[in-house]
Amino acid sequence: MQTNLEHVRDLRLKSWQLLHEASGFIVSERLRRLQSMLAKYDPNQPRVPAGDSAGGQWTSGDGGGSGARQPILNAVQNIDDAIDHLEENADTKPRGKCAAYVRRALNKGGFAVRPPNDGHGYAKNYGPELRRVGFEPVAASIHPSKYPVEGYSPRKGDVMVMDTYPTQSIPAGHMAMYTGKQWISDWPQRSFWPGSGYRSYKPSYTIYRY
């Protein structure tokens, strides 16, 4: 029969074994996370300067002329992730929320796009915000505009920002992303022009590319 002393010794031994196993798991998990971080690390990517409230965090780079540089959401931006989110969440018909749908998709892809500081979050005002996170204009056409303009071919991940037209009930304009197959805003558009008002008036637009 096992004595109390032997029982206590066995319990202590099992405790040390469990502690050893737990320590090994913690070390293994920390190594895994470190390897994942190193795989995404880019020593050349700019960071927010020291002294800023976000000092040391990765940033999109130039600030786009809209104040202090802002930290990005992830260490890596991925257009495919943005498009996957947009396609999976698109509605079957227009909902009047094109900018919100595209912005959330870009956020999912790691781009820290915020609503423009216009008090409304209108789609037509997203140009500076796209530039802030690294997108650059690659095509533009003024009213009466045409699409496509000479020399432009749509590329997967392009984002279109379109001005409003005179009879639009809310002067929000429009915003959409090209998936490689079609333009999607809050719904899969049948063409570049999101509706009859845009197609008739042909307002100015700019297309941005990362």
Q: For 96-142, how does the pLDDT look when each residue is reduced to its tens digit (9 = 90+)?
A: 999 999 999 999 999 999 999 988 999 999 999 999 999 999 999 99
The neighbour count for residue 195, using CB atoms within 10 Å, is: 14
User: What pLDDT, on the 0 to 100 scale, is given for residue 7?
Assistant: 60
Domains of the chain: 71-209 (3.90.1720.10)
146 in Cβ contact with 72 (< 8 Å): no
Buried b (16+ CB within 10 A) or exposed e, 145-164: bebeeeeeebeebbbbbbbb
pLDDT tens readout for residues 180-196: 999 999 999 999 999 99
pLDDT tens readout for residues 34-89: 555 555 555 555 555 555 444 444 454 444 334 444 444 444 689 999 999 999 99
Q: Under 8 Å CB-to-CB from 196, ≥6 apart: which residues?
A: none
Total-model pTM: 0.66
Confidence category of residue 18, pLDDT binned at 50, 70, 90: low
